[in-house]
């Protein structure tokens, strides 16, 4: 014990904080982890504070000052490039959502403008996405038919977009962005792969020129629906589709091999649309089973604010659809924004991005747009085309507006099958792409990577995939969130607890499984708990500690060594404890006491010491038995073992076992 | 660096385990943490193995061999004592569940017998409980009226009991007992206090002699229902009730002051019933507004296996009711069994107990019983009366059977108001008692204790209480589970991350907030991450690490000290990592590299090293930069700082900030 007084200070209990102060710190840590207002707070002048605040809310004020002609040139090029992708993709995805095709164009006009003002990413290209479109169709379609009641369906889609935007804004304002993190990357990978499969399967309808089709999205229903109608298949449609698909995939392949030729794959959809339309126009093949888009109304977005439905039976449907699709859209948009920000080494504030997404969807829902976010494919094209700022989104919006004002008649003859090919081409490899995005990898067998690294992540990924493909999109989503959360709970519920041994010639103690050369010390056992002590694991830990001691005593009895006298608990990795955890420690102390064993604590952290001293546990076991390091605890025990001889081993007797197997 | 080679071994990666082996280990740890089959496995002879197996399933085989006359004497005394409590309580709780009073007696006959054979607690007294009874009434009553359709209601109660038993058995067999742990102690305390309040409020109906009453359980509806009927209040009933309540509470007080006189409060309910019945019989007061039980059928439990309802509209209702009440009953029964086992120093296997509870409810549902568990009050009386084994349950069952066969007519004149008094007396202080039970404390202001120790637990407790009292019992339950889980998720989502400093004259590094005397080292910053690195916290950790570095650099810039060159991450408390976490580390490494900072890792655990080396992260940052201790990492960095001078500080420049506020 004398050694201790010389060498080590006592384990300290941090000074108590007033409750409100500690609540404020905790909330700050949860909600304002990145301390976004640091600059504003440090500024003393009020006018400067306001200016910084405005810049914080509208990033355009930040970057517009440094904008120059070089940037503009780059942004115009990339803006026109993404517009050429946005127009055919927008029309296709609107079809996927069972909405009028023109909505895809509307949605590429207003939202990008809003994002350019409020968004903080320089590379994100705003637009609609396939999965959210399909999910909108699946969720709304369950209760309102898009064919029988198109007006109500359309209005509900606007309302769902409004709710999605509202939710996104609220999440951002309340700084609850971390809720999106509940979707683990593995879950997103599986979900996206499943969604891509489902979206592709849906395109078989267009590709085979079928007019009736199942409303379910699972692979079994879709295949059954297709093969039961094999007599209705239109070979003309299928052939045309395959040709375009081949063309699109070839351009993709070329662009992938030579990244400089990115514009080939970016332009391919528009080229397909033009050629497809010309083909139909000149050959009059619409009578041969090739369906066409038909008339698109000229003119930019009509207002739709009066169409929002807030009346009873449908408002909950719109709310549910809005929340689920909104979260999905957020998860994709923020992941995309973050990865490009990482490439170019700037920061993105997730909460600010949420507000930007939310505002763009709210304004979108007022102007005949449906759900938009930052899709990966379009943003990647934007990035490759050399965009510098969000001005590229403005350029795209202007290009789309010009199309809306003057060019819509040109789409009259566009065959639907071309749109299907565009969607399939966009989806094939989307799984790989989204995976690469999530893992920060390129060209890697993602699922195998997960399998090798972390089996549980692979399992999450697989269940999300199977849930989407064989169940519904919602089932896939719920499964992946559920399993991800379960994993966190399992971590907390079953913390690792292992025996430590001394690494020879040092004062270091480590896991004897990881360091087989580490040696244990006779007469004591050192247990390391690798996680917080909470209600969810306190009875497990109690049982497990008991079992370690039983096993150790059995071993000692066989080898006739010194009997066990001290149990050292290394709490350095125990981040927190709750009241159940404290009761557990008290219980363990009592049980050990009855078995004539002494509990010794090593290195409890700040939070732990606070609670242990408040609960008087420190007094119960004695302050002298709480040590700063394991080494110190061992030396104190060793000292006692060799001088005091506390109790003779004969006294170590247990109450006779009676009804305990 | 030379110092290292001499003194410390390398950080080791544990040998890879085949996938199936590691899966087996993990599942073992989750499901068989207490290794229940150790003894059986260690036995070599087959016949012995079977014998041990049978004893494992039927603990009666274990303790029956050592049973003797002394034990029997104690068990008979305690058995009769608890029977005298069980009979009036059983009738009262059956009333609470809107079931025929006789069911309360039936339920004290068959289930205790089953438990005596299969249960492993020596102190648990089996019987019905107030909260589960009320919950049954609330849940079934929502769809089937006990007044209009008493037969269906009764059959649904049996079916719910069957499902509860089935679920309990399955949980036990699948060793999923840990799922019950999702109910934190704080949540149970709040929930029980709320339920006690609600149960007492319900008794006002009986106490005031009202015949119409609300079906809701929340305090607002109940009080409104009572005060809207103030003209119907019966003063005779109220007066009688208050007298008995006073008597019961006085006996309780006496028993509490002098634990040896426990039998006074144990006998009081029966005494009340007898006096109440005599009073009504001789004064013929049933016409003055005092309701009586009326006729009870003679004879022991009739079979009810054919009454179970498995047909469509009602089976889901019964299933839902069974699962929720079954989980509640399990939570109470297991907590009670565990605490008494702790007093007497024997072990209880939660999963085996679940099977015992499950079997007793399944057999109960076949013989006209409803949901039973191990109520605290009755078990405490059993314990105080000196019970030795589960034989006391058998004695109680026999006493109840005798009552059923011969004494039921005696209950004809028992006034309902006496039953209400019994319930209120049992409930008052039940919150305090259940709290004491959960916290292992006696006589302590539980909520204040929670508040002092752990504000979050207090919040959980309060929400469960308010949920039950102002909402419904289910809302209280969902709230408390939800908030408890949220707490776990918050722990994982926002792990503490703090700066470490050197404690002078040692090689120890600790949190500088906890140990203000610890000093930081110029040129480097040591960050300690206090929790696992998972998808739920990886972006938080990335941001937070970035912020620590920014703040440190700003500080250094002001004080014009050495610029930052090394970031040491102490990973000793990081129990696990998933693929998102690894990507995060890779990202941090990249970002630091761009800022000309070097990432150094200290003390990664076994699980971490496995994944880091599989993902090639160890190669990315270089094996030489992974150290066994923080001290070693610091000395290596120090060495580099003073000899190599890696990069001049001028080079530490960042990409100009552009659109990042």
Q: What CA–CA distances, in Å, run from A285 to A52, A129, A234, A248, B234?
A: 60, 30, 12, 22, 89
Least confident span in A242-251, A392-401, B162-171: A242-251
Give CA–CA dist B58/B42, Å, rounded.
20
Q: What is the mean pLDDT of residues B367-383?
A: 88
Question: Within a 13 Å sphere around the CA of B434, how many CA atoms are in the beta-carbon half?
Answer: 27
Which three-class secondary structure state does DSSP give residue A529? strand
Confidence of residue B653 (pLDDT cuts 50, 70, 90): very low
> Which tops the pLDDT comparison, A224 or A642?
A224
Cβ distance B586 to A59 less than 8 Å, yes or no, reads: no
Which of A347, A439, A539 comes nearest B579 by C-beta? A439
B383-441 per-position pLDDT tens digit: 888 888 999 999 999 999 999 999 888 888 888 888 888 888 877 755 555 555 444 43
Looking at per-residue confidence, does B20 or B357 come out higher? B357
Chain-chain contact of A503 with B452 (C-beta, under 8 angstroms): no
Nearest to B587 among A350, A440, A575 (CB): A440
Mean pLDDT of chain A: 83
Long-range contacts, B87-90 (Cβ 8 Å, 24+): B87/B270, B87/B273, B87/B400, B87/B403, B88/B269, B88/B270, B88/B272, B88/B273, B88/B418, B88/B419, B88/B422, B89/B127, B89/B128, B89/B269, B89/B377, B89/B378, B89/B422, B89/B426, B90/B127, B90/B128, B90/B400
Q: Which domains does chain A have, with CATH numbers?
A: 71-451 (no CATH), 494-651 (3.30.750.24)
pLDDT at A6 over 60: no
Q: What is the mean pLDDT of residues A203-216?
A: 79
Shortest CA gap B108–chain A (Å) = 23
Average pLDDT of B352-366?
A: 94
* Shortest CA gap A137–chain B (Å): 30
* Parallel, antiparallel or unpaired: strands A524-530 and A566-570: parallel
Contact B390, B346 (CB under 8 A): no
Tell me the per-residue pLDDT of B447-462, one tens digit each, with 9 for 90 and over. 677 777 777 888 888 8
For residue A433, give the nearest of A378, A385, A376, A352 by alpha carbon: A376
Supply the pLDDT for residue B430: 57
Q: How confident is the model at residue B112 (pLDDT cuts 50, 70, 90)?
A: very high
What does the pLDDT read at residue B162? 96
Q: Return the HEC string of A171-214.
A: HHHCCCHHHHHHCCHHHHHHHHHHHHHHHHHHHHHHHCCCCCCC
Could you say which of A493, A515, A576 has the minimum Cβ distance to residue B181? A493
Comparing CB atoms, the residue among B12, B346, B530 nearest residue A575 is B530
Two tokens at A260? 């400089």
Among B346, B495, B510, the residue with its CB nearest the CB of A575 is B495
Q: Taking a C-beta distance cutoff of 8 angstroms, is the pair B312, B306 a contact?
A: no
- Nearest-neighbour CA in chain A from B311: distance (Å): 27
- Reported confidence tier of residue A405, pLDDT bands at 50, 70, 90: very high
Name A531's bridge partners: none
Cβ-contact A269, A88 below 8 angstroms = yes
Task: Walk across the sheet containing A496-502 and list its strands.
Answer: A509-511, A496-502, A524-530, A566-570, A598-602, A626-627
What mean pLDDT do residues B27-34 have?
A: 76
Burial of B4: CB neighbours in 10 Å, binned 0-12, 13-18, 19+: middle
Kindly give the interhelix angle for A219-228 and A455-470, rounded to the nearest 10 degrees. 40
Q: How far apart are CA B166 and CA B359, in angstroms?
A: 8
Nearest CA among B295, B296, B298, B322 for reference residue B308: B322
Task: Nearest chain B residue to A528 by CA: give it.
Answer: B573
Facing A658 at nearest CB: one of B19, B346, B583? B346
User: Which chain B residues touch A30 with a CB distance below 8 Å?
Assistant: 490, 494
| Residue among B149, B366, B212 at smallest CA distance from B140 | B149
Task: Compute the radius of gyration of chain A from its Cα atoms.
Answer: 32
Residue A154: the pLDDT is: 94
Q: Across residues A280-298, what is the average pLDDT? A: 76
DSSP string, B369-397: ----B--HHHHHHHHHTT--STHHHHHHH
- In the 8-state DSSP scheme, what is residue B406? I
Pick the closest to residue B388 from B58, B57, B66 (CA basis): B66
Q: Pick from A501, A401, A470, A465: which is nearest to A105 by CA?
A: A401
Pair B488, A489: CB distance under 8 Å: yes
| B406 φ/ψ angles, rounded to the nearest 5 degrees | -125, -25
Rounded-to-integer distance, Cα B155 and Cα B153, Å: 5
Q: Which of B422, B329, B407 is nearest to B124 (CA)?
A: B329
Q: Is the pLDDT of residue B514 over 50?
A: yes
Q: What is the pLDDT of residues A303-360, one digit of tens each?
A: 999 999 898 789 999 999 999 999 888 888 887 887 788 777 777 778 889 999 999 9
In terms of C-beta density within 10 A (0-12 exposed, 13-18 middle, 19 or more buried), how is residue A371 classed?
Answer: buried
Contacting residues of B for A122, CB less than 8 Å apart: 658-659
Shortest distance, CA B279 to any CA of chain A (angstroms): 46
- A661, B513: Cβ pair inside 8 Å? no
Q: From start to end of A389-495, where are the E strands?
A: none
Taking an 8 Å cut-off on Cβ atoms, the answer to whether A514 and B605 are in contact is yes
Q: How far is A209 from chain B (nearest CA, A)?
A: 42
Give CA separation, A66 vs A54, A632, B340, in Å. 17, 60, 74
Q: What are phi and psi of B441, to 5 degrees?
A: -120, 160
Only one residue has tokens 């006959």, namely B109
Q: Do A544 and B33 touch (CB under 8 A)?
A: yes
Query: CA triplet B250, B252, B257: central angle to 5 degrees?
Result: 95
B514–A14 CB contact, under 8 Å: yes
Report strand pairing: B509-511 vs B524-530. Answer: unpaired
Q: How confident is the model at residue A434 (pLDDT cuts 50, 70, 90)?
A: low
Question: In the predicted model, what is the mean pLDDT of residues A614-639?
Answer: 88
Mean pLDDT value across residues B505-531: 88
Q: How far is B553 from chain A (nearest CA, A)?
A: 15
Residue A229 reports pLDDT greater than 90: no
Tokens coding B123: 């102190």
How many whole angstroms separate alpha carbon A456 and alpha carbon B100? 51
Helix (H, G, I), strand (E, B) or coil at B602: strand
Q: What average pLDDT does range B180-184 have in this prediction? A: 72
Distance (Å, whole) CA A76 – CA A90: 20
Q: What is the ipTM of this complex?
A: 0.78
Among all residues of chain B, which has the CA nearest to that of A187? B535
Most confident of A582-586, B112-116, B463-467: B112-116
Instruction: Check residue B496 and report its DSSP letter.
Output: E
Helix axes B130-141 and B69-96, enclosed angle (nearest 10): 30
Sequential DSSP letters for B130-151: HHHHHHHHHHHHTTS-TTT-HH
Q: What is this structure's pTM? A: 0.77
Please check the confidence at residue A648 and state whether its pLDDT lies above 50: no
Residue whose token pair is 């005593």: A553
Residue in chain A closest to B348 (alpha carbons) equals A660
Cβ-nearest to A536 among B488, B594, B655: B488
At A456, list the tokens.
Answer: 């549980």
Position A153 pLDDT exceeds 50 = yes
Asked if the model's pLDDT at residue A172 lies above 60, the reply is: yes
Residue B36 near residue B351 (C-beta atoms within 8 A): yes
Residues of chain B contacting residue A487, judged by C-beta atoms under 8 Å apart = 534, 578
The first and second tokens of residue A445, run together, are 């067998």
| Cross-chain Cβ contact A655/B9 below 8 Å | no
**Residue A567: per-residue pLDDT:** 93
Cβ within 8 Å, pair A29-B494: yes
Q: State yes or no: pLDDT of A221 exceeds 80.
A: yes
Q: What is the DSSP letter of A566?
A: E
Q: Which of B63, B349, B540 lies closest to A33 in CB terms?
A: B540
Where are any strands of DSSP class E within A230-271? none
B16-30, B217-231, B644-658: least confidently modelled range: B644-658
B487, B460 contact by CB (below 8 A)? yes
> What distances in angstroms separate CA B275 from CA A32, B206, B239, B295, B426, one per listed residue?
66, 18, 15, 18, 18
Report whether pLDDT(B5) > 80: no
Q: Indicate yes or no: CB of B56 within 8 angstroms of CB of A454.
A: no
Residues of A in contact with B491 (CB under 8 A): 492, 532, 534, 575-576
List, for residues A465-506, the tens digit of each pLDDT value. 888 888 887 888 888 888 888 888 888 888 888 999 998 888
């Amino acid at each position: 014990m004398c050694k201790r007084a010389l060498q080590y200070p006592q384990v300290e209990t941090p000074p108590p904080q007033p409750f409100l102060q500690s609540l404020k710190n905790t909330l700050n840590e949860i909600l304002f982890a990145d301390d976004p207002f640091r600059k504003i707070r440090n500024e003393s002048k009020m006018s400067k504070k306001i200016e910084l605040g405005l810049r914080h809310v509208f990033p355009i004020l930040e970057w517009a000052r440094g904008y120059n002609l070089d940037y503009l040139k780059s942004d115009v090029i990339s803006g026109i490039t993404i517009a050429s992708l946005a127009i055919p993709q927008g029309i296709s995805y609107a079809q996927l959502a069972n909405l009028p095709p023109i909505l895809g164009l509307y949605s590429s006009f207003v939202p990008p403008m809003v994002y350019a003002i409020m968004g903080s990413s320089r590379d994100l290209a705003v637009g609609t996405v396939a999965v959210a479109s399909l999910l909108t169709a699946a969720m709304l379609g369950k209760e309102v038919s898009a064919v029988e009641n198109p007006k109500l369906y359309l209005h509900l889609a606007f309302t769902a977009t409004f709710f999605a935007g509202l939710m996104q804004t609220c999440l951002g304002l309340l700084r609850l962005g971390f809720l999106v993190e509940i979707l683990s990357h593995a879950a997103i990978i599986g979900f996206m792969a499943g969604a891509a499969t489902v979206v592709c399967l849906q395109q078989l309808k267009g590709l085979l020129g079928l007019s009736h089709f199942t409303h379910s999205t699972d692979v079994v229903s879709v295949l059954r629906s297709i093969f039961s109608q094999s007599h209705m298949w239109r070979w003309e449609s299928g052939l045309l589709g395959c040709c375009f698909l081949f063309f699109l995939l070839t351009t993709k392949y070329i662009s992938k091999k030579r990244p400089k030729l990115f514009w080939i794959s970016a332009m391919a959809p528009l080229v397909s649309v033009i050629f497809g339309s010309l083909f139909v126009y000149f050959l009059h093949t619409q009578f041969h089973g090739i369906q066409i888009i038909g008339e698109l109304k000229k003119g930019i977005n009509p207002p739709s604010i009066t169409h929002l439905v807030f009346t009873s039976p449908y408002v909950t449907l719109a709310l549910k659809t809005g929340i689920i699709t909104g979260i999905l859209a957020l998860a994709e948009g923020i992941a995309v924004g973050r990865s490009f920000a990482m490439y170019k080494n700037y920061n993105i504030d997730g909460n600010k991005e949420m507000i930007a997404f939310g505002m763009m969807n709210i304004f979108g829902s007022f102007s005949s747009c449906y759900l938009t976010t930052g899709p990966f494919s379009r943003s990647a094209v934007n990035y490759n085309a050399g965009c510098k700022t969000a001005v590229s989104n403005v350029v795209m919006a202007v290009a789309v507006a010009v199309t809306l004002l003057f060019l819509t008649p040109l789409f009259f003859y566009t065959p639907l099958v071309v749109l299907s090919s565009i969607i399939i081409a966009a989806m094939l490899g989307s799984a790989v792409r989204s995976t690469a995005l999530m893992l920060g990898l390129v060209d890697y067998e993602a699922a195998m990577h997960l399998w090798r690294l972390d089996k549980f992540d692979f399992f999450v990924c697989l269940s999300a995939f199977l849930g989407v493909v064989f169940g519904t999109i919602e089932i896939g989503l719920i499964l992946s969130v559920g399993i991800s959360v379960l994993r966190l709970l399992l971590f907390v519920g079953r913390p690792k607890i292992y025996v430590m041994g001394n690494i020879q010639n040092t004062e270091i103690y480590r896991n004897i499984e990881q360091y087989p050369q580490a040696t244990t010390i006779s007469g004591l056992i050192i247990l390391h708990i690798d996680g917080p002590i909470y209600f969810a694991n306190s009875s497990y830990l109690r049982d497990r500690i008991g079992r370690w001691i039983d096993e150790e005593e059995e071993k000692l009895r066989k080898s006739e060594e010194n009997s066990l006298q001290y149990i050292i608990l290394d709490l350095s990795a125990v981040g927190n404890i709750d009241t159940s955890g404290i009761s557990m420690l008290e219980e363990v102390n009592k049980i050990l006491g009855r078995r004539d064993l002494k509990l010794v604590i090593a290195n409890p952290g700040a939070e732990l010491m606070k609670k242990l001293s408040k609960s008087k546990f420190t007094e119960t076991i004695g302050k002298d038995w709480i040590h700063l390091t394991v080494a110190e605890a061992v030396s104190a025990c060793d000292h006692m073992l060799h001088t005091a001889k506390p109790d003779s081993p004969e006294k170590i007797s247990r109450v006779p076992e009676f009804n305990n197997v």
